[in-house]
Structure 1
Amino acid sequence: MAGRQLANKWLKTEALLSDARIQGHIPQTRMFSAPQLKKMLHRYGMVVIKPVRGGGGYGVIKVTYRRGRYSFTNLAQERSFSSFSAMFGALSRVMVKRPYLIQQGIHLARIAGRPVDYRVKVAKTERGWEYRAMVGRLARPGLFVTNLCKGGTQLSAKEALVRSVPASSVKSQKKRMQSLTQNCISILERRFPGIGELGFDYGIDREGRIWIFEVNTRPQ
């Protein structure tokens, strides 16, 4: 069942932020503007800019502020600047004219130095919501996005967890992602009746905290 589709990442983020059980798992997210970008960079040191609509890692840019220097990474190309205004000018030239979000950057657990995250797919059937897939996605060397269409490698969720988190937490982390998924399904189904498929993008940071990066209604 394909069901209702909802491309706007901001609307889905807002819905999830309304629930106290989920709030702490969502990176700080704001609509893109120069003042917000500067504020979040100075607070977090790293942020990710992504189009409000779209997927596959297209248009996603990492921006960092460290030791007085600003830089951004677009695919594998990194550019560095001595001032925010110079960086913002160059950034504006590579961004397409469409709405973007700024999301707090998360330092993901890694495998052989490459970031790894997780995709959980669920679909609604006559018997209720069922799991379709739970996989790890390992970024291509040199990239920060893990999308398979950008050269990422798909792993089983178990393999990705075994290789990136302490052995004692593998089972509990998998259960926590499943529990978060169930809670998110109930929130999103109430807010957006008619949805039939969902794809959750999760990350686990170096301290073991699980983050929800986004939810897709047309998971690939």
Structure 2
Amino acid sequence: MMTPSPSRLFGIMTTQSEGFPPFLSRDFYRKLCLIGSRAGMTVFVFTPQGIRWSEGTVRGYSFDAAARRWVSQDYAMPDVVYDRCFFVNRNQHEAYREVMRTLRTLPSPLLLGYGLKGKWEVQQMLEQDGRFGSHLPRTEVMRSVQSAAEWLKARSEVLLKPQAGSQGCGVVLVRRAAGRRAQARKHAAAVEITANAGAAFTVIGRDARNGRVARSFADTASLLRWLRRFTAQRSYLLQQYLPLHGRSGEAYDVRSLVQKDGTGQWQVTGMAVRKGQIGSLTSNLHGGGTVEPVKAYLTAQFGNARSDQILSEMKKLSKQIPEALEQSHGRLAELGIDFGVDTSGHIWLLEVNSKPGRAIFSYLHDKKARFNALANPIRYARYLMRHHRNRESGGETKLSVKSAPLPGESPDPDSPNADPT
């Protein structure tokens, strides 16, 4: 039996997996269900396989707070869909794209935001805006492994990044040796990979399964043979290698989570440093990285005054980047923006992700940022629903100056009632 359609249905679409309920990140979705309930919404999670197009229904899963368990039932098509789908192969991605194309043709549901495409498309959109040129590393599409060879003829090193990769998987640094003895200094860290005498190239990084890579090659031909196997079936970018490391030699970046609030405006929810292990090419948490408070870490690197300048510039860019992307791409709801800071203090834009994680705030025990990171998609969905209804009725959409608390939400995120864990 289908649940009667309430005034506000918020559907979270995610990737199907084994078990019950049939998806990962259950704790994250449980919290969204509880926060949405306080806002007068019915929040449920569904997978593309659960959509019944002919009936206009969805098999969804909601968390029953009273019984403290997940329950499944059929729902009407939601008013708003929050896309949290992640796929690991091309077939899954093609099936997902077909679902998204169909959803876009329907009058309902509204999509909370449209997912960004690959890294190259994001790079091109930002290059069209003159404000970001000095913050974008030189980047090219790798048409073939010969492109990497040509790059290495002109420069001593190149970073290879998968277009659709995440969490540092599949990222490698290829370095041409200076002389017969090849040393791949991992972000100038104390740990080195010293190649055999006579090696011409070294490669360090992580493979597609997040395993460590450390190789050396005697000549260009052997390097290119390995690169063909390593990059097979995936689109790659060639990117300028940047010295993004701290005083102790550890790789690090700054993650900025920006989200639309209950008035449809972009806000910086929080920022944190992700610090890699010494000897690691990347700083991703899945690769063994840790999280540090951004102000304290940057102050240790650059001093108080300079760190304030860097933070101010990052916050400014964090507001400008989503606005610029929306001009070309269409509606977005949230972004994870990764910044690098080189040893001179210059800010580089490394990556923009339209389906960001929130783990950094849990590591820092930042209750305010943690709660807002969860609540903002609900707040923005409520804004979209209200705006859409007013537009359909021909009325004006009146926006409040401030984002009001959700019904039942304590404005104080430190309150025990503010974080439903």
Q: TM-score, normalised by structure 1?
A: 0.93
Q: Which SS does the other structure have where 2:268 is aligned?
A: strand
Q: Which has the higher strand share?
A: 1
Checking the alignment, whether the CA contact within 8 Å between 1:109 and 1:164 is kept in structure 2 is no
Match of 2:314 in 1: 177
Match of 1:195 in 2: 332
1:3-58 alpha-carbon deviations (Å, 9 max, x no partner): 21124111111000111210111111111133331233334422211111121111
Alpha carbons of 1:105 and 1:168: their partners in 2 closer, same or farther (altered >3 Å)?
same
Distance 1:163 1:64 in 2: 30
1:57-76 alpha-carbon deviations (Å, 9 max, x no partner): 11111111231522111334
Of 218, 227, 237, the residue aligned with 1:101 is: 237
Q: Which has the higher contact order (CA 8 A, sep 6+)?
A: 1
1:111 is displaced (CA, Å) by 4.0
Match of 1:204 in 2: 341
Match of 1:163 in 2: 300
Q: Which 10-residue stretch deviates more, 55-64 or 82-91?
A: 82-91
Checking the alignment, whether the CA contact within 8 Å between 1:123 and 1:196 is kept in structure 2 is yes
Alpha carbons of 1:96 and 1:156: their partners in 2 closer, same or farther (altered >3 Å)?
farther
After the TM superposition, which residues 1-150 of structure 1 pair with which residues of structure 2 at under 5 Å, given as runs? 2-32=112-142, 33-68=144-179, 69-75=200-206, 76-127=212-263, 128-150=265-287
- Give the total of aligned pairs: 220
Unpaired segments ≥5 residues, structure 2 = 1-81, 83-111, 180-199, 207-211, 358-421
Distance 1:215 1:112 in 2: 27
Unpaired segments ≥5 residues, structure 1 = none
* Runs of 4 or more consecutive aligned structure 1 residues displaced over 4 Å after TM superposition: none
- Percent identity at matched positions? 30
Q: Which 10-residue stretch deviates more, 14-23 or 89-98?
A: 89-98
Q: Which 10-residue stretch deviates more, 198-207 or 45-54?
A: 45-54
The one-letter code matched in structure 2 to 1:155 is: E
Alpha carbons of 1:41 and 1:209: their partners in 2 closer, same or farther (altered >3 Å)?
farther
Checking the alignment, whether the CA contact within 8 Å between 2:322 and 2:332 is kept in structure 1 is no
Distance 2:232 2:273 in 1: 29
The one-letter code matched in structure 2 to 1:8 is: G
1:212 is displaced (CA, Å) by 0.4
Alpha carbons of 1:152 and 1:183: their partners in 2 closer, same or farther (altered >3 Å)?
same
Distance 1:91 1:211 in 2: 27
